[in-house]
Structure 1
Amino acid sequence: MIRLVGILIGLGFTFVVLLAFVTGAYTWATEDVAETPEHAFHEAAHSPDGGFAFDGPFGTWNVSQLQRGYQVYKEVCAACHSLNYVAFRNLAQLGYSEEQVKAEAATWQVPGINPDTGETTMRAAEPTDYFPSPFANDVAAAAANGGKIPPDLSLITKARHDGSNYVYSLISGYEPVPAELTEEFPEFEVPVGGYYNPYFESLVIGMAPPISVDGQVTYADGTEATIQQMSADVAAFLTWTAEPTLIKRKQTGWPVLGFLLFATILAWFAKKQIWSDAKPKRRKD
């Protein structure tokens, strides 16, 4: 009797779960979803022409591009965004010599202590220092940016889906509100202080276009600084800040896969050798 009751209870739970699944699936398949501007006009991130050098299993860093990206960050992005998890000494990975790293660090000011008075002061940065925040604190950051705190960019390409392409598309994607959008959704409007960007989730972003004209940065290597070029370069640089070991990880992965393949083949031959003389035992009736 107890076993029968248990079976009936189990069947009851199974029926309820199955009913909920079928009902949910039917609702999802037949329910009309109201189309929104974000749904209709939001665009997926895309790569720059030619893609990034670090894309794919055999990707490599384009050191020249990373250096240009650092220049864009320093001259454009650093006014609002920090790189809290990157130290000046890390720039050596971009091909800068020890002396160049020291000289570059010295062009930045970081908080320090006056040894004579003990008061807080500003001093030239050293290679062991981390990139400073452009604001004294979050309150100052919010006050200078319409109540929004600009995000730290150290890990931004890891914190966003398809991060490298997202950063490139977002920076280079500012444009006027398309006429089709206002025709289809008359209620849509960009508030004062906002900007239309089809790569931002809500289509409206509070950050003004950081790169707005060609030639905004004069590259040290003579590369033509178009909006697309500068956007791609800084996206590549921020990919490096988020995962500086990306290429080393890819390069390490291939020997590991080769070893695993070799070990698998070796194990298969060993199994064949050990069990080659083994015969299945017949059952005695």
Structure 2
Amino acid sequence: MVRAIAALVGAAFVFVLALALFGTVSDRIKTPPAETAAEWVQGRTEAATGTHLLNADLASAGVLGKYDRRQLQRGFQVYKEVCSACHSIRLVSFRDLADLGYKPPEVKAIANQWQIEQPSPNPDTGEAATRKNLPSDHFPLVFANDIAAKAANNNLVPPDLSDITKARHGGANYVYSLVGHGYVKQPAELLKEFPDIATPKGLYYNQYFASLNIGMPPPLKSDGQVQYTDGTKPTVDQMAKDIAAFLTWTAEPKLENRHAAGLAAMVFIAIFCFLAWGAYQNVWRDIKH
């Protein structure tokens, strides 16, 4: 009798879940969700160029991905020598570089020698002044404000790169595709079909950018632009992968911890399910069928 009641309750529960699922699916078919801005941008770009984002194939990709420290250091070198002239990483502090494998004296040297110093008004006069960076400081802003940024960049404000891989559809693959393989000659047949995207003066055609016309000149111009200290061949493709890896880290510095916690949670759930099944068998072992 008890088993019959339990089976009936279980069947009713399954029926309610199935009914709810059917209602959700039916509603989604009748009234599909509105297309997001990211989906619209991606769809328009692919329709116009026939291209899809390339796969950076980073070690950090996937549910069990881990950072390649050597690649992160190379990516930081690319940022320092190429990107830091225009783009800030204001959410990252110098001491965070220890996670990349730099030792405390190296972190201190990087902070002290950084080309931009910390704003520090004179305590006596209140006049603008600067001081050397400390490991505890965040990376200083490249430009004091948007007005200064526009004045130096053809009336455009270079975005902060701290969490760019989270802010852009495609993440690391977007950064890799954009800077490593996006700057190509605009196809003539493309202009015939989409005359509104002709690259205006002062902009650059990039097949992976949302509007296909970007204000940033090609940052990675040729192989060997950055001389890696670990002996890796600095091709444009390699530098693009490395900067994509570094910017993935700036956006998700605790990614490895998150992956480890997720794996531990899955193992715990599996063990819990096994124990629950064993308890069920033990409780019902003397019940006759």
TM-score > 0.5 by shorter chain: yes
Structure 1 residue 58, shift from structure 2 partner: 2.9
Shift in Å, 1:76: 1.0
Equivalent in the alignment of 2:109: 103
Partners of 1:188 and 1:86 in 2: CA distance: 36
Compared CA separation, residues 245 and 230, structure 1 to 2 (3 A): same
Q: Which has the larger radius of gyration?
A: 1
Cα distance per residue 1:51-79 (max 9 Å; x no partner): 11112233221111100100111111111
Cα 1:132–1:36 change in 2 (3 A) is closer
- 2:14 corresponds to: none
User: Aligned partners of 1:115 and 1:184: how far apart in 2?
Assistant: 61
> Which residue does the alignment assign to 1:52?
58
1:138 Cα shift? 1.1
Displacement, 1:179?
2.6
Please give the residue correspondences for 1:16-55 in structure 2 after superposition, counting only pairs within 5 Å.
39-41=47-49, 43-48=51-56, 51-55=57-61
Mark the CA change 1:262 to 1:132 in structure 2 (over 3 Å): closer, same or farther: same
* 1:38 and 1:201 in contact (8 A); partners too: no
CA separation of 1:175/1:143 partners in 2, compared to 1, >3 Å: closer, same or farther? same
Instruction: Give the AA of the match of 1:246.
Output: L
Does residue 122 of structure 2 align to residue 127 of structure 1?
A: no
Give the match for residue 169 of structure 2: 161
**1:219-241 deviations in Å (ceiling 9; x for gaps):** 12222211111111011000000
Cα distance in 2 between the residues matched to 1:266 and 1:185 = 62
User: In the alignment, residue 126 of structure 1 is paired with which amino acid?
Assistant: L
- Aligned residue runs from structure 1 range 187-266, under 5 A: 188-266=197-275
Tell me how far apart the structure 2 counterparts of residues 264 and 38 of structure 1 sit (CA, whole Å): 44
Aligned 8 A contact 2:118 2:132 in 1: yes
State the partner residue of 2:146: 138
Look up the match of 1:270. 279
- Structure 2 residue 179 is the aligned partner of structure 1 residue 171: yes
The alpha-carbon deviation at position 204 of structure 1 amounts to: 1.0
Equivalenced residue count is: 249
CA shift in 2, pair 1:125/1:257, >3 Å: same
1:151 and 2:159 matched: yes
**Unaligned stretches of 5+ in structure 2?**
1-25, 33-42
Residue pair 1:65, 1:237 contacting (<8 A) in 2 also: yes
Distance 2:197 2:107 in 1: 49
Give, in angstroms, the shift of residue 114 of structure 1. Answer: 3.5
188 and 201 in structure 1: CA distance in 2 versus 1, 3 angstrom threshold: closer
Decide whether the 8 Å contact of 1:42 with 1:203 is kept in 2.
no
Q: Unaligned 5+ residue runs, structure 1?
A: 1-17, 26-34, 281-285
The structural deviation recorded for 1:110 is 1.4
Under a length normalisation based on structure 2, what TM-score does the superposition of the two structures give?
0.79
Shift of 1:139: 0.9
| C-alpha displacement of 1:119 | 3.0
Q: Hey, what's the Cα distance between the residues in 1 that align with 2:132 and 2:209?
A: 37
Cα deviation, residue 100, structure 1: 0.6
Paired amino acid for 1:252: A
Shift, 1:38, TM fit = 6.5
Q: Identity over the aligned pairs, expressed in percent?
A: 52
Name the TM-score, length of structure 1 as normaliser. 0.80
Query: Could you say if the C-alpha distance between residues 261 and 37 of structure 1 is closer, same or farther in structure 2, counting changes exceeding 3 Å?
Result: closer
